[in-house]
Structure 1
Amino acid sequence: MTECPSPAYARNMRLIGFSDQGGRPDGNQLMVHRGYAYVGHMYSKGFSIIDVRDPKNPRFVRYMEAPLHTWNIHLQAHDDLLLVVNGRDMKALPAFSDDKSYYKAKSSTAFNLGREDRTWTAGMSVWDLSKPEEPRQIGFMPVEGVGLHRIWYVGGRWAYASALLDGFSDYIMITIDMADPTKPVETGRFWLPGMNLAAGETPDWPLEFGRYGLHHPIVHGDTAYCSWRDGCLAVVDVADRAKPRLIAHKSWAPPFGGGTHNALPLPDRDLLVVLDEAVLDHQEDGDKPIWLFDIREPSNPVSISTFPSPRDADYKAKGGHFGPHNIHENRPGSFVSSDLIFATYQNAGLRVFDIRDQYAPVEVGALVPPPPPRMMDGKSGRDPVIQMCDVFVDSNGLIFTTDHHAGLCIVEFNG
């Protein structure tokens, strides 16, 4: 048990539980599944398991170490399976010592890591969660390249992932056949034209601007809504998992800063929530919106509004990243809503938005935890500041958040 800190700011929200994750408070993606939180680490490389069945008294269970020079920053849990990314620990590379070099690099050269230098594990591991406190690896799908970044899996035969493979300029989408979880198989690939360098394709985007690489897809039915970082939004038909097909590509960067991170469909309302991640300190990469799109015509998504940015403090001057990072993705079995959107805003903490009027989203809740005792990235000479990363809302409406430095928070929304 870890003492629950007092928030720096709260509105319609209450912090009820906290965990330092066994002394590894750096967190990236999390899944809350059958009363346990599975947290991928940003700097500690592996993943951790926390018992959250008593949300006011979360209990650290165990840490699962990643392979050498490998990180497990993203993961997906469904039924008795946990799917975990394995990729090169990019933040440990001197070439990516700061955020600008990682997020704004010329990816075709920055990620050119030769085969002879490969001391990491690249692919996807599959774990049996039938005993949640004793996960057991049962399968692995290797890939040739840097590895996977993020997966989408909500059960059934198919998983979808972003993967940086040999011959491509950046991360592309792959489809994965999970018919036999002990032997997952890559089935299809999709990329934007210009990314397949090995096939002689030539990029037609401004290379000096940033990353044309897939962050991850969210799939509803036979449609994948793909967040393509500085390539923004790609809507892809995956009815034929072996041959995905582009439906629409929308780019707003420049003039906006790009960094598209999530594209969440709300099918009952023909809406799409699209979040651009802030990736540089003090908004050096611009004001990053959360957009709301009308997708009644899938081939022509139209932006109809943006969410309001937090105004309760001068977060731009606070230090660290200020702006959106992640949203709760309405996974089956979790809290699912087409009216409430839960988003992390890095140094501005957690925010909740009411979008019942799709043309005028309104903030209805906020919680900003206090600064962490220390920064987990190893850099010195900075004041500690939160960088809230992921958010998951369980079926009871309890909110779980991770932070790159500040541990796992469990929050009630009273709005």
Structure 2
Amino acid sequence: MRNCFKHPLFKSILISSLAVASFQPFAQGVSEAKNMALTGYNDLQGRTAYQPTIQKQGNRWIAYVGHHGDYKLNPLNGQMENNGTSIIDVTDPKKPKYLKHLPGEEGKAEQGGAQMVRVCSGATLPKADKSKFYMLRVFGNQSHEIWDVTQPENPSLLTTVVKGLKGTHKSFWECDTGIAYLVSGNPQWRTNRMTQIYDLSDPTKPVFIRDYGLVGQNPGSSGAVPIALHGPISTGPKGNRVYFGYGTNTEGIIQIVDREKLLNGPKEPTPENLLYPQISRVELPPMHGAHTTFPMLDMEFPQFKNSLSGNKGDILVITDEAIQKECLEGRQMVWFMDISTETKPYGVSNWALPDMPGNLCKKGGRHGAHSSNENMTDVFYKKIMFFAYFNSGVRALDVRDPFAPKEIASFVPAINKNTVALETPASSAGAKLPYTEAATKVAIQTNNVEVDERGYIYIVDRANTGMHILELTGPAKKIANWNAAIK
């Protein structure tokens, strides 16, 4: 028996077994995790991914993922296709099934693809066919489209809302009213990203409402042009507010706007009319932007529960976006702003993942915040928020006390055969930056995160790694009341 250990065949088997054991975390798609576990995975055909949106359709749950520009093989039809929109059945999150890829605009990264996607049920939209589901997506930087996705395996283009643009990005669609805030680049305006508002309550008949942006971006203005819009979040008629975030990693601006005045006030883009719906405007420090502006309204402040006043209020969570590799920019992080007195917002706390220990700035790719979840599902809203953090995966924060947010869970996927080293973006000044060998390292680049009403967490990767479906475990699971949420 002892001699069998010397047999060449046994040695080969032993070495293979050790290799499998050594790379088991890689095989499972996990690099490191805390109070968060991997439930399912889909490679998204190896496409660089931006925005995931999860929609319940009858008894099915469907994930729609927008992609940055690139050119990849679609194994479903054997054709090379420009990156566009991936449609995945995630009804069983352990076994997500890729259903369809819709090609987007030709081009690389921000110049192509179909990055942004939103979905509404016809049963919710006021004037739509109640039996249908509708997808609003960008087509690269040139247009916004509406698709019938009632049969997600066989979507069909309904209409192009607007075309001939010079930019698009992170739009927002109110499913209960049909009002859509489209991040667009009207060629007549002085910026490539402002807001075009449409009534899409009947998705087959888009109705233009108005153009909107900052004073100085509008046609006919002069002087310096304020930084471009990144995206809005609306609280609809009930909350009557739209929160606009401008900039990403520099010169950011937060704008709180009265929704009713925005939609029904004077619409010619004069300085006076643009200022009419504005409640307040906050200019961020030069090295910070506003990628995502997420409202947490009517919160209790546990630190001040015994105070006569100020023991509850409204919070706006602002997420910067890291742009440059290796932290060669200002620190990009998460900010909590008290907006209880809307005309006088002020910062109350912030959170960032330090690059030490671990020297994360040199891990490869970008290190820093990018985006938060935007679904306000009861499972997580005002309790836990999730933040995409590029080479540090997704981070979950306990936000029940917004004056002292704390990390309670995290998940960093492992790289796989599809993961690539991202190209270096140009600096804002156009100068060559002193990138080291870390600039060419292959690293996870968790790009965006979203959650669904069942309590699952979806992260997608900018460096082609795919989509990971996650669930909370341990103490974090108890905060979310996970068992009550999962069906």
TM-score by length of 1: 0.83
In 1, Cα distance between the equivalents of 2:225 and 2:169? 24
1:411 counterpart (454, 458, 470): 470
1:378 deviation in Å?
7.4
| Aligned twin of 1:262 | 292
The alignment status of 1:86 with 2:145, answered yes or no, reads no
| Aligned twin of 1:320 | 365
| Aligned twin of 1:49 | 87
In 2, Cα distance between the equivalents of 1:404 and 1:378? 8
The SS at the match of 1:239 is helix
Aligned partner of 1:73: which letter?
Q
In 2, Cα distance between the equivalents of 1:195 and 1:391? 30
2:102 counterpart (55, 58, 64): 64
| Aligned twin of 1:345 | 389
In 2, Cα distance between the equivalents of 1:378 and 1:404? 8
Identify the range of structure 1 (40-49 vs 213-222) with the bigger mean alpha-carbon deviation. Answer: 40-49
The SS at the match of 1:282 is helix
Taking structure 1 as reference, are residues 188 and 303 closer, same or farther at Cα in structure 2, changes over 3 Å only? Answer: same
| Aligned twin of 2:171 | 151
Paired residues for 1:148-227 under 5 Å: 148-155=168-175, 156-170=177-191, 171-196=193-218, 198-203=219-224, 212-220=227-235, 221-227=239-245
Deviations 1:15-74 (A, max 9, x none): 1211111x2332110111121111111134311111111111111111111245542101
Aligned partner of 2:341: which letter?
E
The SS at the match of 2:48 is coil
2:415 counterpart (371, 394, 398): 371
2:66 counterpart (40, 44, 50): 40
In 2, Cα distance between the equivalents of 1:234 and 1:54? 40
In 1, Cα distance between the equivalents of 2:64 and 2:178? 22
The structure that is helix-richer by fraction is 2
1:319 deviation in Å?
1.6
> Is 1:217–1:225's contact at 8 Å kept on the other side of the alignment?
yes
Seq. identity, %: 28
| Aligned twin of 1:401 | 459
> Is 2:375–2:452's contact at 8 Å kept on the other side of the alignment?
no
1:334 deviation in Å?
7.5
Identify the range of structure 1 (161-170 vs 47-56) with the bigger mean alpha-carbon deviation. Answer: 161-170
Deviations 1:286-308 (A, max 9, x none): 11120001111112211100024
Identify the range of structure 1 (293-302 vs 145-154) with the bigger mean alpha-carbon deviation. Answer: 145-154
The unaligned stretches of length 5 or more in structure 1 are 89-121, 206-211
> Is 2:217–2:225's contact at 8 Å kept on the other side of the alignment?
no
2:279 counterpart (247, 251, 264): 247
> Is 1:234–1:249's contact at 8 Å kept on the other side of the alignment?
yes
In 1, Cα distance between the equivalents of 2:34 and 2:416? 20
CA RMSD of aligned residues (A): 2.1
The SS at the match of 2:257 is strand
Taking structure 1 as reference, are residues 312 and 361 closer, same or farther at Cα in structure 2, changes over 3 Å only? Answer: farther
The unaligned stretches of length 5 or more in structure 2 are 1-25, 71-82, 122-132, 268-273, 300-313, 425-438, 477-487
> Is 2:369–2:389's contact at 8 Å kept on the other side of the alignment?
yes
Aligned partner of 1:83: which letter?
L
The SS at the match of 1:145 is coil
Taking structure 1 as reference, are residues 301 and 317 closer, same or farther at Cα in structure 2, changes over 3 Å only? Answer: same
Paired residues for 1:289-304 under 5 Å: 289-304=333-348
1:364 deviation in Å?
0.1
The SS at the match of 2:298 is helix
> Is 1:289–1:324's contact at 8 Å kept on the other side of the alignment?
yes
1:376 deviation in Å?
5.2
What is the total number of aligned residue pairs between the two structures? 369
The alignment status of 1:9 with 2:32, answered yes or no, reads yes
In 2, Cα distance between the equivalents of 1:377 and 1:177? 41
Taking structure 1 as reference, are residues 66 and 376 closer, same or farther at Cα in structure 2, changes over 3 Å only? Answer: farther
> Is 1:271–1:295's contact at 8 Å kept on the other side of the alignment?
yes
1:175 deviation in Å?
1.2
User: Who wins on radius of gyration, i.e. which is larger?
Assistant: 2
TM-score by length of 2: 0.72
1:358 deviation in Å?
1.7
Instruction: Choose between structure 1 and 2 for higher RCO, CA contacts under 8 A separated by at least 6 residues.
Output: 1
Aligned partner of 1:282: which letter?
E
| Aligned twin of 1:97 | none
1:312 deviation in Å?
6.0
In 1, Cα distance between the equivalents of 2:231 and 2:423? 28
1:153 deviation in Å?
1.0
Identify the range of structure 1 (344-353 vs 40-49) with the bigger mean alpha-carbon deviation. Answer: 40-49
The SS at the match of 1:176 is strand
1:353 deviation in Å?
0.2
> Is 2:365–2:422's contact at 8 Å kept on the other side of the alignment?
no
> Is 2:288–2:330's contact at 8 Å kept on the other side of the alignment?
no
The SS at the match of 1:149 is coil
The SS at the match of 2:185 is strand
The alignment status of 1:18 with 2:41, answered yes or no, reads yes
